[in-house]
Structure 1
């Protein structure tokens, strides 16, 4: 298809709390992706960096920061910030440059050095931003936000804390097999139940950590890939970065989406569902064609929402799906075979890129002990602040 671009290389810096700067992490990931692709740094004609607001000025200009760290060689640079979707927006920017003929080979890099504890709002006071308001006025930090989603599932669908715990057990088992994961140990349902309550009903092991880490990709045109000797590379077939439609799941107080109210009809689909649908439509595939999915498990309960939003099951059936074992390694449709954020934690600019790295390794058949046999197509999905979200479809 004319919209395909090749994934020639994937690289990561292991997640953890290493106490060093994001530039060091990103440089390690970038060099790993270049080596994996068999591409010399001097042959890269464009660098797209996913920005980090916690990295100071170098984080705002991440594309130039990584180009400088690797050694100025004249490449075009672009810096992208889109909250948790920053990495996917960077992939989308690189893809657009390739399809427009602006560059044959593009390096995409995202890295972060996260503070201890949950993320506080960054970027100054924003009294017209509902996320800033929930932090500052309500005191509803991210764990409280995740807990409201969990309580809603319990009320609407009858989900239980035991169902949520099964997600952590599943993802920890996969993460134990991933050398890049921060947490590499199996977890039992009893351990989840015994961990401290953070925001009822979610316990410590239901919620992802904040982490340092990095991920990088080398993308190219299909023609360049063939010339480079990659006759059957993993291909990115779709990238969705759509915004919500009215009525939104989150009200933008005090400006309650008045423009959207007159622009479009109310959507029967959730924002997360619309992200996935746009990716499926662009790729020309559906949920039944998937071999795996990498979704944004900020909490165990939120992963169950994603099952429904990306079409793996009907609304309200996410808990039954995880109980059936279908989303575990060896199941019908493994979700988060990397171990997910449960095993990695959040390194915001890197995580959507890391999801594509996992798809790449799975579709190549090089994922080691966590390999999904015969993997041919996968989707990534995440949702971030301020109407940012993304989904990427990769095929082989």
Structure 2
């Protein structure tokens, strides 16, 4: 890309249990999008294009949501990339700006979900569930087919099952323990206690997490992300726009960004670790580091896709934070919380902050912008200058974004 893109405004709603509040998806979008515009100090009339991410609503729901912000006739793009939808919308906004096509783009993501575990059926397909695992009708049938061949298929939520089986593989290969998996949940619940936007703000001990209801062994309920309602947004602009409007004080640079999809490596080994996205995450991280000139050693704060506790451990390895098999020790040593080498998921992550699919990636960006501006309040990471966001969806897509202040 010829130019540099900056985030000058972010906003989000509180993430909530579905049906908690009597609102529609366009109400969420108005709240989050309006907050992002207010944070940027601009009006909607400055926005030239709007990529809008969601998985559960009907076609052109993006337009219906954006119309609450203004009726200016600008192009609206409806984006669906499973759990990586929000970061995909952000990446589109960056591409529009960095290419020189636009000076100001609003990336918006939202989701209004149903209560209960995500799994089979039409709605479950939004996050990777299969109506008939292995059936041709499911876009992720190949992924679940790999799991079924190695582990069989049980009557537990499909996404918990495929990630739970990845955890079993990691435990068998590397000696990772159930306690180390629970430490991820304990850390992220502890972090969320200071996040007013988080769906859950309760703190749990490792013992309480291990004693919670098992969803799919070894994963318990407190190690699994919930269904959530919510929205998030970011205003992405060019350097020219920053200068013209005197916005340097609030601008955060998108220093590098990359998206990858599945390759043969995802399926060739027959491993759930690979089929849930570890190869994609490694490749996306490598490309983002190359694009930015930064490495994991430069990063201070990380928001990553902890849809299940095992995925946080897998992502440590994919990002180069530790060698393969050493992620359990990394979390046990306190390297990924306050006082450690990095602070991972200061927001509480998906496990505790919540996971409205279309909003998740943009909420990660919002948290990092607040951290890099030094405005994150009680959860502020001291001296944070570089942040990394990792967002992944089965089917598949992995997006890694590096932000720099």
Give TM-score, length-normalised by structure 2.
0.88
Match of 1:235 among 239, 253, 270: 253
Query: What is the match of residue 90 of structure 2?
Result: 91
Asked if 1 retains the 8 angstrom alpha-carbon contact of 2:262 and 2:395, the reply is no
Match of 1:374 among 376, 379, 383: 383
Matched, 1:246 2:248: no
Is the partner of 1:312 in helix, strand or coil? Answer: coil
In 1: Cα distance, 2:339 partner to 2:2 partner: 33
Asked if 2 retains the 8 angstrom alpha-carbon contact of 1:3 and 1:237, the reply is no
Matched, 1:203 2:220: yes
C-alpha deviation, 1:129, in angstroms: 4.2
C-alpha deviation, 1:130, in angstroms: 6.4
Alignment of 1:216-365 (within 5 A): 216-232=233-249, 233-249=251-267, 270-365=279-374
Alignment of 1:146-157 (within 5 A): 146-157=163-174
Task: Note the aligned Cα RMSD (angstroms).
Answer: 2.3
C-alpha deviation, 1:145, in angstroms: 1.1
In 2: Cα distance, 1:5 partner to 1:278 partner: 17
C-alpha deviation, 1:76, in angstroms: 2.4
Asked if 2 retains the 8 angstrom alpha-carbon contact of 1:84 and 1:348, the reply is yes
C-alpha deviation, 1:251, in angstroms: 8.3
In 2: Cα distance, 1:186 partner to 1:4 partner: 40
Matched, 1:163 2:165: no
Name whichever of 80-89 and 1-10 sits farther off: 1-10
Alignment of 1:52-67 (within 5 A): 52=55, 54-59=56-61, 62=62, 64-67=63-66
Name whichever of 379-388 and 363-372 sits farther off: 379-388
Distance 1:128 1:76, change over 3 A: closer
In 1: Cα distance, 2:35 partner to 2:298 partner: 30
C-alpha deviation, 1:272, in angstroms: 1.7
Alignment of 1:39-118 (within 5 A): 39-52=42-55, 54-59=56-61, 62=62, 64-118=63-117
1:86-106 CA-to-partner distances (Å, cap 9, x unmatched) read: 111111111111123332111
- Structure 2 gap ranges (5+): none
Matched, 1:22 2:25: yes
Distance 1:247 1:332, change over 3 A: closer
In 2: Cα distance, 1:65 partner to 1:101 partner: 27
Distance 1:249 1:374, change over 3 A: farther
- Structure 1 gap ranges (5+): 258-268
Name whichever of 68-77 and 214-223 sits farther off: 68-77
Matched, 1:36 2:39: yes
Asked if 2 retains the 8 angstrom alpha-carbon contact of 1:175 and 1:338, the reply is yes
Asked if 2 retains the 8 angstrom alpha-carbon contact of 1:3 and 1:238, the reply is no
In 2: Cα distance, 1:365 partner to 1:201 partner: 37
In 2: Cα distance, 1:343 partner to 1:160 partner: 21
Q: How many residues align?
A: 377
In 2: Cα distance, 1:29 partner to 1:201 partner: 36
Is the partner of 1:69 in helix, strand or coil? Answer: coil
Asked if 2 retains the 8 angstrom alpha-carbon contact of 1:249 and 1:271, the reply is no
Asked if 2 retains the 8 angstrom alpha-carbon contact of 1:47 and 1:77, the reply is yes
Query: What is the match of residue 193 of structure 2?
Result: 176
In 2: Cα distance, 1:132 partner to 1:244 partner: 14
Asked if 1 retains the 8 angstrom alpha-carbon contact of 2:87 and 2:391, the reply is no
C-alpha deviation, 1:329, in angstroms: 2.1
In 2: Cα distance, 1:348 partner to 1:238 partner: 23
In 1: Cα distance, 2:304 partner to 2:292 partner: 18
Asked if 2 retains the 8 angstrom alpha-carbon contact of 1:37 and 1:218, the reply is yes
Asked if 2 retains the 8 angstrom alpha-carbon contact of 1:114 and 1:347, the reply is yes
Distance 1:86 1:130, change over 3 A: closer
In 2: Cα distance, 1:334 partner to 1:218 partner: 25
